[in-house]
Amino acid sequence: MTILCNSSFQRATFFLTGFQGLEDLHGWISIPFCFIYLTVILGNLTILHVIHTDAILHEPMYYFLAMLAFTDLGLCLSTLPTVLGIFWFDAREIGMPACFTQLYFIHTLSLVESSVLLSMSIDRYVAICNPLRYSTVLTPARIVKMGLSSTLRSALLILPLPFLLKRFQYCHSHVLAHAYCLHLEIMKLACSSIIVNHIYGLFVVACTVAVDSLLIFLSYTLILRTVLSIASRQQQLRALNTCLSHVCAVLLFYIPMIGLSLVHRFGEHLPRTVHLLMSYVYLLVPPLMNPIVYSIKTKQIRQRIIKKFQFVKSLRCFCKD
């Protein structure tokens, strides 16, 4: 790596990292990443298109699913330029403003996803525990307010992070361990005390992910109690089946997050590649798998997607004739 002699330029630049020691294979490594990014973009755009164009899907459950797809799409696009830039062009340098902007969107969208999953659990709770009031409780206006409050909460809580990082002088190595910028990693490069950043970071996690996960668990406890009180076994299974896709989405979000936290805290002895893979799993697997899970497990979404493909196929046959 070229050593920068200009200290002012050095303070304004970070260096991203791909898979160290495998630089000669970055071209090949980029192939599965390109496939993942393309699948994420096409999958979530398909979900958004189907929900937007089909009036039958203009219901609270699918509005929340559209929010999830939009959030996943944004999270994917926030890391795509730097990840593929490293693999294709070895573009490792990133300016401080661009780095802070990227970490702002990554952290904000991660918190928004947690909030959307909570909103979806509330939707399932009302649908199963209080079905007669479903349409009056989850009105379009209330759904919009829930979406806006989730976005504002996340955006405002993350907003101080770039400013807290901007006040530091970075006298240590400017080489980051990932192909994108994260708050936890950048603050460790600072010369001065980072206790304020540590405390505020814990406060943000406690106010968002911890509260959201607790409320999701509580909502499913109440859902399970209601389902078990239903006399018919068939109706019990039908009620639980409506929650299956959301449960999968919750697990896809929280399991990689917990795994990444455990690796960072207790996995110092693990190869660096493991840390990298876990970080990519955390950021890419939920956006990749959520459209697939909902397309397979949600009958209405699956039928509409099949109908769209059949229409395109018939249109092509008509044009050939």
Residues spanned by the domain of 238: 13-300
Quote the CA–CA distance of 67 and 54 in Å, as a whole number: 16
Could you tell me which of 15, 13, 4 has the C-alpha nearest to residue 175?
Answer: 15
Q: Would 309 be classed as within a structural domain?
A: no
Structural domain includes residue 99: yes
Compute the radius of gyration of the chain from its Cα atoms. Answer: 22
- Domain for residue 239, yes or no? yes
**146 assigned to some structural domain:** yes
Mean model confidence pLDDT for the chain: 90
Q: What is the CATH number of the domain that holds 218?
A: 1.20.1070.10
Residue 5 lies in a domain: no
* Residue 312 lies inside a defined structural domain of this protein: no
pLDDT at 304 over 90: no
pLDDT for 63: 97
What pLDDT, on the 0 to 100 scale, is given for residue 177?
85
Q: What is the pLDDT at residue 6?
A: 42
- Whether residue 131 is contained in a domain is answered as yes
Note the pLDDT tens digit of each residue in 152-207: 999 999 999 999 999 888 887 788 988 999 998 899 888 888 999 999 999 999 99
Q: In which band, very low, low, confident or very high, does the pLDDT at 314 lie, cut at 50, 70 and 90?
A: low
Residue 308 resides in a domain: no
Region 285-292 average pLDDT: 96
Q: Which of 26-30, 114-118, 185-189 has the highest mean pLDDT?
A: 114-118
- Number of structural domains in the chain: 1
HSE-CB at 141 with a 13 A cutoff on CA atoms is 2
Q: What was the pLDDT predicted at 220?
A: 96
What is the per-residue pLDDT for 135? 92
Structure tokens of 301?
């979404």
